C-alpha cells in the first residue's frame, strides 16, 4: 500500500477516497509555498530594528522620498500573480478558489526559474473595472503585475487599463509569454530549414488571448504573412461578425486576403500554430508546404497529433513536456520580470518582448536540430540570458527607472 505523504504545515485529514493516496493531492496539501523572513528576529535588538522603533525611521524616509520604497522593502523583488479564475488552464471558468493551486504553482515557477518572489492573488470579481480598481489599489506593494487565466476579450481591457494607471509592468502571460516562446522557437525552426521569418506564411488556429498576441509579435518580428482563424474561419475584414479585438486583428494580418475555413488557410502554408484545441484533419495538414513547421500547442491533446505532424513537417512542437520542443511559458515570464524588476521598468514594451524571444532563441542556436529549436525549461542558461536582454531593451526603450 502506498504511504501517505503529509505536509508538515497541515494536520488535516480531510482527503477522502483515492485523493488520500493521489500524489498530486499529497503534494498540494497545505499549499505549495510559504512566506519566510530574510532577517533574524532572535532577541530584543533584532526586534527593535525589524519592527518598532527602528522601522519608523525607514517609513519616515520613504514618506519623504517615495522612490526609496524600492531599496528598503521587497517591492522591487516581488510580483503579484492575479486571476479571476475565469479561464484556468484547460479547465475553463472554475472560479477564484479553484484557481489558487495554479496561481501558487505560477508563483513557485517565478522563484525557481527567475529568482523572483511572487504572491498568488485570486479575485472574486469579474467586471473589467472592478478587477482594474482592485489590482490598482493593491499595486503599491508590488514591483509588477502578472495577469493570469483571465478570459478573453476581458483580459485585453484589463491589461490595457491597468498599464495606463500604473507605473509598474503589467503583463498578461497567457498572451505575451506564449507569444515570446513561440517566436523564439519559430526563429530557430526557420533557421534550421534555411529560411527567414519573412519567407514564411503562418496560420494561427485560435483568436483568443494567445492567438492575438502571437499574431502581433510575429508581425512585429517581420513574418511574411499570418492568418488567424477562429471557430467561424479566417478572421478577415469581409466578416460582419467580428468583435473590436478581432476587427483590429484583421487589420494587420492576412495580407493575402484569404477568406473561408482553416483548411483554406492551411493550403500551401509554411507554419501552423495551434492555440485553440480541437482537431485539424490530416487531409488539411497534407496540403501544407514542404518542410512545414507545426506548433500544435493545445494541452493535453494537440490540434495535430505529433505522429501525424511528423509525416508532413520538418519541425514539430507542442505544449506537452513528454515531446520535444515544448512551448512552455516558463521559458519567458521569469526572465522577463527579472529583467524588468532589475531596472525598475515602468512597463514591458514590444522591444523587451522581442529581445526576450531573440535571447531565448540564441540559447540553443548552436545546437539546433528537429528536436531542439527551443531550450528546456531546466536549461540554466535561459533565465540569465532573458533577464539581461530584457533589462538592456528596457534601457534602450526609455522605460528603465535606473
* CA distances, 226 to each of 36, 103, 214, 257 (Å): 47, 32, 10, 10
Give the C-alpha distances (Å, rounded to integers) separating 326 from 85, 295, 319, 371.
25, 9, 5, 10
Give CA–CA dist 271/147, Å, rounded. 28
Residues contacting residue 185 through CB under 8 Å, at least 6 positions apart? 295, 317, 325, 327, 361, 373, 374
Nine cell digits for residue 239: 466578416
Report residue 258 as a C-alpha cell: 484569404
The owner of cell 477562429 is 230
| Structural contact between residues 275 and 205, judged by C-beta atoms closer than 8 angstroms | yes
3-state DSSP assignment of residue 321: coil
270 marked among binding-site residues: no
Is 106 noted as a catalytic residue in this protein? Answer: yes
Q: Is 290 a catalytic residue?
A: no
Question: What's the grid cell of residue 179?
Answer: 507569444
- Annotated binding residue 328: yes
Rounded (10°) angle between helices 209-221 and 173-192: 50
Give yes or no for a cis peptide into 307 (omega within 30° of 0).
no
Q: Which three-class secondary structure state does DSSP give residue 372?
A: strand
Backbone angles phi, psi at 284, to 5 degrees: -75, -40
Would you say 148 is a known binding-site residue? yes
Active-site residue, selected from the candidate residues 75, 106, 161, 216 = 106
| 107-113, long-range: CB < 8 A, 24+ apart | 107/33, 107/81, 108/32, 108/33, 109/330, 109/333, 109/334, 110/79, 110/81, 110/146, 110/333, 110/334, 110/337, 112/334, 113/330, 113/334, 113/335, 113/377, 113/382, 113/383
Binding residues, by number, are 148-149, 174, 299, 328
* Bind-site residues for a divalent metal cation: 148-149, 174
Residues belonging to the active site: 51, 106
Binding site for (S)-malate: which residues? 299, 328
Amino acid at each position: 500500500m502506498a504511504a501517505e505523504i503529509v505536509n508538515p504545515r497541515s494536520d488535516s485529514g480531510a482527503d477522502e477516497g483515492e485523493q488520500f493516496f493521489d500524489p498530486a493531492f499529497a503534494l498540494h496539501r497545505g499549499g505549495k509555498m510559504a512566506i519566510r523572513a530574510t532577517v533574524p528576529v532572535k532577541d530584543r535588538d533584532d526586534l527593535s530594528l525589524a519592527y518598532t522603533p527602528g522601522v519608523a525611521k525607514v517609513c519616515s524616509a520613504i514618506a519623504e522620498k517615495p522612490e526609496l520604497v524600492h531599496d528598503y522593502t521587497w517591492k522591487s523583488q516581488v510580483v503579484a500573480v492575479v486571476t479571476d479564475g475565469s479561464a484556468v488552464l484547460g479547465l475553463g471558468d472554475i472560479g477564484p478558489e479553484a484557481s489558487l493551486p495554479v496561481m501558487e504553482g505560477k508563483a513557485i515557477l517565478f522563484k525557481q526559474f527567475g529568482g523572483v518572489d511572487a504572491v498568488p492573488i485570486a479575485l472574486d470579481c469579474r467586471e473589467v473595472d472592478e478587477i482594474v480598481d482592485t489590482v490598482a489599489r493593491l499595486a503599491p506593494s508590488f514591483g509588477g503585475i502578472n495577469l493570469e487565466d483571465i478570459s478573453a476579450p476581458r483580459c485585453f481591457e484589463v491589461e490595457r487599463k491597468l498599464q495606463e494607471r500604473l507605473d509598474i509592468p503589467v503583463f498578461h502571460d497567457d498572451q505575451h509569454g506564449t507569444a515570446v516562446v513561440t517566436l523564439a522557437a519559430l526563429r530557430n525552426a526557420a533557421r534550421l530549414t534555411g529560411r527567414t521569418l519573412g519567407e514564411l506564411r503562418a496560420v494561427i488556429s485560435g483568436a483568443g488571448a494567445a492567438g492575438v498576441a502571437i499574431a502581433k509579435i510575429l508581425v512585429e518580428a517581420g513574418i511574411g504573412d499570418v492568418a488567424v482563424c477562429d471557430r467561424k474561419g479566417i478572421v478577415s475584414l469581409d466578416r460582419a461578425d467580428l468583435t473590436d479585438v478581432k476587427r483590429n486583428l484583421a487589420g494587420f494580418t492576412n495580407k493575402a486576403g484569404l477568406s473561408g475555413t482553416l483548411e483554406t488557410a492551411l493550403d500551401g502554408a509554411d507554419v501552423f500554430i495551434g492555440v485553440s484545441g480541437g482537431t485539424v484533419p490530416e487531409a488539411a495538414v497534407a496540403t501544407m508546404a514542404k518542410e512545414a513547421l507545426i506548433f500544435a500547442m493545445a494541452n493535453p491533446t494537440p490540434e495535430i497529433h505529433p505522429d501525424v505532424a511528423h509525416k508532413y513537417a520538418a519541425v514539430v512542437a507542442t505544449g506537452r513536456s513528454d515531446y520535444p520542443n515544448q512551448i512552455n511559458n516558463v521559458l519567458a515570464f521569469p526572465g522577463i520580470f527579472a529583467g524588468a524588476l532589475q531596472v525598475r521598468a515602468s512597463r514591458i514594451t514590444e522591444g523587451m518582448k522581442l529581445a526576450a524571444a531573440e535571447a531565448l532563441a540564441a540559447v540553443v542556436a548552436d545546437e539546433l536540430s528537429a528536436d531542439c529549436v527551443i531550450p528546456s525549461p531546466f536549461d540554466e542558461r535561459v533565465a540569465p540570458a532573458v533577464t539581461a536582454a530584457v533589462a538592456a531593451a528596457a534601457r534602450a526603450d526609455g522605460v528603465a527607472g535606473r
